[in-house]
Structure 1
């Protein structure tokens, strides 16, 4: 079933979340009429390759034009034409932006489908969708608007003050120009009295205006401390969760609006204070409040502007390799990566260049011994006004490359040596400029990075990125893995489900997560509050196996993504089910009923088990030796299921697979995924196998991991094991079988 069809079958509460995804950037009309074509394209890769994004944009417009010509409904045809024109205007100059928007929408759809299958949101997602947040943001909107209104009213007050002063100045100079002999007349005395009244009113107005300005400054200060800064911190936390597969990151434009409006209020107040400084050059007097109060207020406004602009300098896009767009914060030496920073405050139009410099590992803890790197390409770029950000400045570094400078082999910490993938680095961004006489030093940094030198380190690096961003919001805690905290199973299981919805298109349901919890923590400990250590998750081998829990799970993700994606997304693979559960599910089913599950003894393996009736009439369960990526490279797995044959007691070979659990006819479940003609070659009888090949010793595995990736090791071992069987057993449709239950 297509992803869009799955979306349309969701409950209304999930459909409301989907509705939130689509706007003028990507209208839902396009998602509807081009759903199949859209889902067949690789938008994640296109979002990081401009040439590919350009091709997809042109293809999208062509598809839309064809749909317009075929559409019979006049209104729908009119709407599609308008959308086509809007997309051309919006994305012709920025196809990467379009690809990113569509990739995000598709990814968020998968997350919503995954959440719906679990039937309840996990703790992280609930925290990201706090119902109080809407009211809080609405209050902030109103508060910013009130401040802007008060500041604009202050403009009128300062203008009125200037007019009053001009009137006083004119009358005063007119009086001074009179003949001294006329000064004792009644008219002159009345004029002097009138001038005194005007001066008193002027003094009152100056004090009143300054008092109101002081109140607004206090209000802005409170706004920044109590609301703006917390909202920014919350957005950064959401960005962390989004980096590891969590909900779509939104709110940056809203933050930018709040920051810009607040800064504009401060810029306006600075001009008002400057104007008051000009007024006292014309008229001043004893106890004049302007020279007494203005200097302190001006310093407060400058202080607020300085810190507001500094805090608005953010990393909009965390460092990421274009080859792995869904795994940010992992950088491989010698491979280009991209990152983007933005200034949330829209600055007044002035003639200057804001140059941003990148610095690697500026914030390393003192005394830390680590690998050292330098940026190979130019590390300075000028910020430009970005149209899509309503005039704010941003800069994207799209061709940065890191390279080793030197390497220290052992990382010395009080808790013992750390692995390469536990060593955290930072990428800092700096800029300097002057505005309205204020020297501002901008500085921000990315979330901690993992630097790898070989793709075999990618799974371990991604585990570190997940663990860090799940459990801390400290942006500079580079010593995190010296003593990593534990995660609750409730938190961790939610993140693991996100990995499957992000990388494999469909998240994990409650039953699958329960099996994973039991595998990691045991039968008695796999409830949501159980604590999982970093070592248990990623470093310690599963008992009796030469690999860790995460290495096993990551290899399954890789297998799905490369070889099983269509049938995984069609819900044909039960996947994570223990042998005990498998027996309870199949024992009472008709002969020929089978299910697909991932191997627990092989890295990246999938097997199927079917029900067979024994001679005494009891159910017997038969499983095949797991298929790994090396065995699935030749033929689609659906074809293997279709054409699988076994011999029994010298009879003609037959396919024992009849019904996908619980009772779906095989061709109904897999028919749409058959890709090749049915095999007509030689069919051999595979020898029975009572157990898988004996596992590799941990010592041998540790030695090999220094030179090969775990999947490369698995491939090599599988090849050796495969050669141990007879030539007949090498037919891909007749893998060795072994009785795993019911003997």
Structure 2
């Protein structure tokens, strides 16, 4: 009997050692999976999302698809490793429960450790699947009601774990919620059960669901190509007792400062015996406009967010209210190229000119530029528009009317009236210059030099031309037809005017020439400029140098002008204008205990030290209860 107990004790020691080895290897594997998963989600996926955000202000992100495919491969790898570890832990635990039901402290300890590991792996898998649901194509930052938008969501674990068969009849729905609601969702401050159902929608979307499909590249995605925002909820009215001016201010802020988010939700699906998955994701914060006049303010708010806000909505993240000029200049440079489609980027001299609009002169220690200064505060005391309104209108002007001028360098653009006058005066030959007005939004002015009665050079700046003015007569036509510019050969500094005009079709410059079949002859609008203080009796048709300001045009067709006040220059006049602008093991009862069975020589060997701690704090930071539920 004693010999049998001795041999049984030896065998049991081997068994306990093997159990310990298995538990240790499972623990090491779980720890390794947790480490890789944390790096994948907190670093690689976060970086991809941040670059996706910056791409919406024009920062290049050419390899976004390749990078996301690489991230998907890592999600798939971790899903497989997790599943294998989970199955092995569950299988080992099942073997323990099927063994002799005796009081075995080591078996109890092993079962408890295996149960803990299985729970940790389940928690990691839930997080992995929920975080793999991403917006692969973000909607436009500013959505317009009654206009279609395009977006796409993707499940990065692909068809691993047989998820595809669970999603055969599964749809992805989209609805629009307030950004405040999106932050509550992300911070899980709402009831976890049916969170997405509880979320309050603030608008209506047509074609608000799509099927999850898998393409030949292994992308499991839902594409929304025909969805339309049909309605957005009205904002709250201002408090009672407010003045009329305050009401206007509150309404304006409510219409252009309210952010929203698109909430995407996959129908709950079962995965093995792990429970139901309730997976959702959010778009980046978006703005909504119901009228074109709101576009400028909405674009200003969203560009600031895309450039400087965190991609995360987690608690503790604060909005950036002020930034250094160099950071803002970098964003403006990219936004300018993205919006206008121009090949020519903003130069250092352009950016220096822009900085003068926002920074105090001759102050070495400049304060950061606030969003209020950037998009809300008037550019100067004598104008009624902000820096962003002025810059946005210039981008619209270039995109719609002056893109060729800008790309070819024919348009200096960002230069002050005084500097333009000085540059033209110092030129060795007569030149004219094209610049953007800084007293009127979205307007271009022609500056040139004429000689007065005493033969002295005098700079002139024509009243600025808006998009509406250029609709009536293009800038090329104005240059070609203006009598004062006919004798000026060079566009500043030394570009041949005729070479520039050849780029434009002759039909655009001279509308007509052929007799009309109705017997009428076609006419053309000719731009003239008054460059003398006294009215001239010389007719435009006779080729006089100083034609009447009315000429062929009526006075109503003239743009409001700018006052020219350099020394020795003549004023033309000014009329300011402005535009409106996101198990435990069941305790077993045995017939005895292992010590009594193996004899007095046996001593139970527990693990010399606890299992290595697995850091799952990063999982808790995402609060997976927001992503899944057991039913």
Deviation at 1:454, TM superposition (A): 0.8
Shift of 1:386: 3.5
Larger helix percent: 1
The corresponding residue for 2:272 is 436
TM-aligned CA deviation for residue 492 of structure 1: 1.7
- Alignment check: 8 A CA contact 1:567 1:673 kept: no
Q: TM-score, normalised on structure 1?
A: 0.60
- Larger RCO (CA under 8 A, 6+ residues apart): 2
Q: Give CA-to-partner distance per residue, 1:507-537, whole Å, 9 cap, x none.
A: 2111111111112334335x89642222222
1:734 positional shift: 10
1:498 alignment partner, one of 315, 326, 334: 334
Aligned length: 501
Is residue 175–residue 205 contact of structure 2 (8 Å, CA) maintained in 1?
A: no
Consecutive unaligned residues of structure 2, counting only runs of 5 or more, are 185-199, 514-522, 534-547, 570-631
Residue 658 of structure 1: CA displacement?
A: 1.2
User: Could you say which residue in structure 2 is the equivalent of 1:512?
Assistant: 350
Say if 1:689 and 1:411 are closer, same or farther in 2 by CA, change over 3 A.
farther
**CA 592–436 in structure 1, closer or farther in 2 if over 3 Å, else same:** same
Q: Is the contact made by 2:205 and 2:231 (CA closer than 8 Å) also made in structure 1?
A: yes
Given the alignment of the two structures, is residue 623 of structure 1 paired with residue 443 of structure 2, yes or no?
Answer: no
| Counterparts of 1:685 and 1:638, CA distance in 2 | 14
Task: Confirm or deny: 8 A CA contact 1:377 1:399 kept in the other structure.
Answer: yes
Q: After superposition, give the CA deviation of every residue in 1:360-394 in whole Å (9 maximum; x if it has no partner).
A: 3266369xxxx983224243333222334x34444
For residue 338 of structure 1, what is the aligned residue in structure 2? 150
2:298 counterpart residue number: 461
Residue correspondence of structure 1 range 291-690 to structure 2 within 5 A:
291-319=111-139, 328-346=140-158, 347-350=160-163, 351-353=165-167, 354-361=170-177, 364=180, 373-388=202-217, 390-396=218-224, 398-410=226-238, 417=250, 418-431=253-266, 432-438=268-274, 439-473=276-310, 475-476=312-313, 485-504=321-340, 505=342, 506-524=344-362, 530-542=367-379, 543-614=381-452, 616=454, 618-646=456-484, 655-676=486-507, 679=510, 686-688=529-531
Q: 1:666 to 1:397 in 2, by over 3 A?
A: closer
In structure 2, distance between residues paired with 1:259 and 1:386: 18
Deviation at 1:598, TM superposition (A): 0.9
What CA distance in whole angstroms lies between the structure 2 residues aligned with 1:454 and 1:583?
39
SS of match in other structure, 1:547:
coil
Aligned residues of 1:644 and 1:733 also touching (Cα < 8 A): no
Could you tell me the TM-score, scaled by structure 2's length?
0.70
In 1: Cα distance, 2:528 partner to 2:467 partner: 23
Structure 2 vs 1, CA of residues 466 and 391 (structure 1 numbering), >3 Å: closer, same or farther?
closer
Q: 1:330 to 1:678 in 2, by over 3 A?
A: closer
CA deviations on 1:71-93 (whole Å, 9 max, x unpaired) are: xxxxxxxxxxxxxxxxxxxxxxx
Q: CA deviation at 1:494?
A: 1.7
What is the Cα deviation at residue 618 of structure 1? 4.1
Give deviations 1:8-32, integer Å, cap 9, x for gaps: xxxxxxxxxxxxxxxxxxxxxxxxx
Summarize the Cα distance change of 1:199–1:461 in structure 2 as closer, same or farther, 3 Å threshold: same
Aligned-partner Cα distance in 1 for 2:239–2:352 = 37
CA RMSD between the two structures: 3.9
Mark the CA change 1:640 to 1:263 in structure 2 (over 3 Å): closer, same or farther: same
Secondary structure, aligned partner of 2:499 = helix
CA distance in 2, matches of 1:735, 1:419: 33
- Displacement of 1:356 in angstroms is 2.5
Asked if structure 1 preserves the Cα contact closer than 8 Å seen for 2:166 and 2:270, the reply is: no
Counterpart of 1:213?
A: 26
Aligned to 1:246: 59
Q: Is the 8 A contact 1:486 1:532 kept in 2?
A: yes
Match of 2:46 in 1: 233
1:310 Cα deviation from its structure 2 partner = 1.6
Aligned-residue offset at 1:276 = 2.5
Q: Can you list the C-alpha shifts for 1:323-349, whole angstroms capped at 9, x where unaligned?
A: xxxxx2212223332322222222322
- Cα 1:465–1:477 change in 2 (3 A) is farther
Deviations 1:439-469 (A, max 9, x none): 3322321222212111110111110101122
SS at 2:507's partner residue? coil
Of structures 1 and 2, the larger Rg is shown by 2
Give, in whole Å, the separation in 2 of the partners of 1:674 and 1:393.
47
